[in-house]
Amino acid sequence: MSPDTLIKMANQIGAFFEAMPDREQAIKDIASHLRGTWDPRMRKQLVAMLGGADEAKLKPAVRGAVIALRQADAG
Q: 31-67, pLDDT tens digit by residue?
A: 999 999 999 999 999 999 999 999 999 999 999 999 9
Phi, psi torsion values for 10, nearest 5 degrees: -65, -40
d(CA 36, CA 21): 22
Look up the pTM and report it. Answer: 0.93
From first CA to last CA, the distance across the chain in angstroms is 26
What total number of domains does the chain contain?
A: 1
pLDDT at 25: 96
pLDDT at residue 73, as a whole number: 82
Distance from CA of residue 41 to its chain's centroid?
A: 13
- The whole domain housing 29 covers 3-74
